[in-house]
Amino acid sequence: MKEQSFKEPPFLLSLLPVLVLVVLLFVTIRIFGADALSGGNQIILLTASAVCCMIAIFYSKIKWAVIENTIAGNIFGVTPAIFILLIIGALSGTWMISGIVPTFIYYGIQIIHPSFYLVSTCIICAVVSVMIGSSWTTIATIGVALLGIGQVQGFSPGWIAGAIISGAYFGDKISPLSDTTILASSVTDTPLFTHIRYMMITTIPSMIITLIIFTIAGLSYNATATEQITLYTESLKQTFNISAWLLIIPAVTFFMIIKKVPAIITLFASAMMAGIAAVIAQPHLLHEISGLETSGIASQFKGFLMIFYGSTSVETGSAELNSLVSTNGMAGMMNTVWLIICAMAFGGAMTAGGMLKSITSAFIHLVKRTVTMVASTVGCGFFLTLTTADQYIAIVLTGNMFKDIYKKQGYESRLLSRTTEDAVTVISPLVPWNTCGMTQATILGVPTFVYLPYCFFNLISPLMSITISAIGYKIFKTKPRD
């Protein structure tokens, strides 16, 4: 069958959908604020996708069936992530109502001193993420518990989420169990541990600077919420049956992760165990959530299902604490699922129309020296993270686009694999319409633009990559290849 030939749109025309997307998203977020996720952003993504389709059909002469198939392929590629996201919604509800997260908060606010809360949070998330290789799971489990501790201690949500995400993505970036780490090394034909060791050159300095910032910020914090902390701990103890036995479930969950049990199975099993724990340890809360007048098997069963899928609220005697322990379950993830599907439609339309190729080709022409090579890779990776709305697609495209160029210029593949991770993996949670940005904002309940300024590790990493290349440290060139 003869392949369809089409006319690739020029650079400026290819930029039009991106400009439409950025401008309309800016206006929408300014008007709707945090509620933009409820539908406004989705409509904007579909509008930008429509602009892509018009360019593809009327300028590039591409058939609609080709565009449709590309979009469908994009959406199919994120199906596992959507299932994981829904199960994380169930996990957040069951871990909260079962008393697991309240137990973490209860003991955590007594152990972690406010002055060292931010740096401790970053380190804890980094260690857990390195062990399990997943930023999403780290944030959805220990991250949610640490968020509660920080809020009780009086820290702003932006600072807390910034510390959690900085630590979680440090581990996601360098853990040999991380899918992005494995993907970046395999796409660029770099041995996994060679890739990880080489990343340390940019990752360790970035993390050290991040920890210094969080330490200074914590020491500057004036702990005036002592009475409030006491009030919260007492309210938690009166509302939930606090027990260290509940922490067996997180321990089993992390054991399953370390044993490389598939994420969907692990998270669902953890949610089920937490649901059963809720029946045993918090039957009074399940009855309250069910809304039924009489307590019994019916109210327990209804409450059990509701903590998986629905919005739950518990009366603790404190409005702030009520908000902290409320959850939205699987239903609370639906806006994010909708947004992911719309974002994948935009990325598919950009790819099918040749606009993505046209724009990214411009980065390649900037390559002249080592620093411009790395800066172009960072810029391209960042751009693809914005436009494809998925870190996996951005990693694959960046690696494939620059692989031959690095070879021809005589650069080692590990330089490309490191730069790709510095530009894509850590930036993805900072983009509101990227799958990572949407997920972390939903899980933590903190809008992306609120936590973005405090994700110091994520912001510093790409700059560190360019800085190290400018210095020339540990960057070796061989004879250029034909």
pLDDT in tens, the chain (482 residues): 344 566 789 888 988 988 888 788 778 877 876 677 778 888 988 998 999 999 999 998 899 999 999 999 888 877 887 887 788 788 888 988 998 888 887 887 777 788 888 999 999 888 878 866 778 878 887 888 888 888 888 889 999 999 999 999 998 888 876 778 877 887 788 887 888 889 999 999 999 999 999 999 988 877 555 566 677 778 888 889 989 899 899 889 888 877 878 878 888 999 999 999 999 999 999 998 988 888 889 999 999 999 999 888 888 877 767 776 778 888 888 877 887 788 788 888 888 888 877 877 777 776 778 888 888 889 888 888 887 777 877 887 787 678 777 887 788 889 998 999 998 889 989 988 787 888 898 888 898 989 999 999 999 999 999 999 889 888 877 655 54
Instruction: Look at residue 23 and tell me if it is in a domain.
Output: no
CB 391 within 8 A of CB 428: yes
CB 87 within 8 A of CB 275: no
Q: State the SS3 of the chain.
A: CCCCCCCCCCHHHHHHHHHHHHHHHHHHHHHHHHHHHHCHHHHHHHHHHHHHHHHHHHCCCCCHHHHHHHHHHHHHHCHHHHHHHHHHHHHHHHHHHCCHHHHHHHHHHHHCCHHHHHHHHHHHHHHHHHHHCCHHHHHHHHHHHHHHHHHHCCCCHHHHHHHHHHHHHHHHHHCCCCHHHHHHHHHCCCCHHHHHHHHHHHHHHHHHHHHHHHHHHHHCCCCCCHHHHHHHHHHHHHHCCCCHHHHHHHHHHHHHHHCCCCHHHHHHHHHHHHHHHHHHHCHHHHHHHHCCCCCCHHHHHHHHHHHHHCCECCCCCCHHHHHHHCECCHHHHHHHHHHHHHHHHHHHHHHHCCHHHHHHHHHHCCCCCHHHHHHHHHHHHHHHHHHHCCHHHHHHHHHHHHHHHHHHHCECHHHHHHHHHHHCCCCHHHCCCCHHHHHHHHHHCCCHHHHHHHCHHHHHHHHHHHHHHHHCCCCCECCCCC
Position 347 scores a pLDDT of 80
Nearest-CA neighbor of 166 among 442, 446, 427, 466? 427
Instruction: Look at residue 418 and tell me if it is in a domain.
Output: no
Q: What is the pLDDT of residues 417-451, one digit of tens each?
A: 899 999 888 998 998 878 788 889 888 889 898 99
Position 445 scores a pLDDT of 87
Position 281 scores a pLDDT of 92
Q: How many whole angstroms separate alpha carbon 303 and alpha carbon 202?
A: 48
Q: How many whole angstroms separate alpha carbon 407 and alpha carbon 170?
A: 28
Number of domains in the chain: 1
Instruction: Look at residue 25 and tell me if it is in a domain.
Output: no
Q: What is the pLDDT of residues 80-98, one digit of tens each?
A: 878 877 887 888 889 889 9
Position 213 scores a pLDDT of 95
Alpha carbons within 13 angstroms on the beta-carbon side of residue 257 total: 26
Position 229 scores a pLDDT of 67
Instruction: Look at residue 65 and tell me if it is in a domain.
Output: no
Instruction: Look at residue 209 and tell me if it is in a domain.
Output: yes
Instruction: Look at residue 241 and tell me if it is in a domain.
Output: yes
Position 207 scores a pLDDT of 95
Position 3 scores a pLDDT of 46
Alpha carbons within 13 angstroms on the beta-carbon side of residue 55 total: 28
Instruction: Look at residue 147 and tell me if it is in a domain.
Output: yes
From the number of C-beta atoms within 10 Å of its C-beta (0-12, 13-18, 19+), residue 224 rates as: exposed
Take residue 12 and report the two structure tokens written for it: 């400026």
Q: How many whole angstroms separate alpha carbon 473 and alpha carbon 99?
A: 50
Tracing tokens 């936590």 back to the chain, one arrives at 451
Q: How many whole angstroms separate alpha carbon 277 and alpha carbon 275?
A: 5
Neighbours of 290 (CB within 10 A): 21
CB 306 within 8 A of CB 289: yes
Write the Ramachandran bin of 411: left for phi over 0, alpha for psi from -120 to 50, otherwise beta.
Answer: beta
Q: Which domain holds residue 317?
A: 80-332
Position 209 scores a pLDDT of 96
Instruction: Look at residue 188 and tell me if it is in a domain.
Output: yes
Take residue 446 and report the two structure tokens written for it: 């903190």
* Residue type present at position 46: L
- Round to the nearest angstrom and report the end-to-end CA distance of the chain: 33
